[in-house]
A and B are shown apart, each in its own frame.
Chain A
């Protein structure tokens, strides 16, 4: 039963399946890859500066005073470290079919929420 619960799909299998899918959709379907790391980073930043910051910065400033700027620095540092890890994780399964390493949108979505602390 434990085996049943904790089995995992191997990375090789995921790559194989995605490769197969790519072959099949040779005559249509598959998207061309035009977005590069820079574009995705820009997307990411656009998503980082989201509602969270505007919604809670007032409260944070009220209870923290000027120290809120230090808070921002600290959060940025924490998120920055984590962004590296996210990028590495995403690029482990870099199937060519995907737009690009997936970290940017996903990570920044998390960024935004995190920066709302």
Chain B
């Protein structure tokens, strides 16, 4: 009841788009963590008790690199004028609100995309080397892609929120944990 009121009343006044984007970025982050976690567990030296449900294993060794190349080729051949050029161009541009953007202001909006390209490349290489399972890899990449489309402002807010949350979590649990002085 109290929680409901605490959530409902601010929700009346907040900007719907921003709230949705913030909750989306958080959700997608959790998705990425879960997909990554499955990959890490599968490849760890001592996997925990065998889960009852197992993601069907499809070897991603050749499929993931193929998909990677296919996406790059499609982007270059069919979207050269659009997304491709817009990403590599660094001259001053007018944005949607008619402000001229240049230098850092322009570059900072590309950071999430740059991040995505880096992560996608790393994951592709890893899945070739370690024969990662296809489904978690694709889940990770698609969710991370969606995250990177949410804009740098959201990322900054999300980072602040994340750091604050982690600080509270660790500072509180350091003293209050029930595992204090217990052998595991």
Contacts and interface: CB of A to CB of B under 8 A. Distances in A.
Interface stretch (B52-60, B68-76, B82-90, B111-119): B52-60
Interface of A: 4-5, 7-11, 13, 15, 52, 55-56, 59, 74-75, 77-79, 81-82, 84-92, 94, 101, 110, 113-114, 116-117
Contacts of B28: 114
Given A85-B55, A85-B139, A114 B48 contact: no
Contacts of B143: 78, 81-82
Interface stretch (B32-40, B99-107, B157-165): B32-40
Interface of B, secondary structure class, is: helix
Given A10-B184, A56-B20, A84-B56, 19 more contacts: A5-B174, A7-B184, A9-B184, A11-B48, A11-B49, A59-B17, A78-B31, A81-B135, A81-B136, A87-B55, A88-B38, A88-B53, A101-B52, A101-B53, A110-B27, A114-B24, A114-B27, A114-B146, A116-B20
Interface residues of B, number: 35
B12 interface: no
A78 to B, nearest CB: 4
Contact of A5 (B37, B49, B170): B170
A81 B36 CA distance: 12
Interface string B14-51: 00110011011001101100110110010000001101
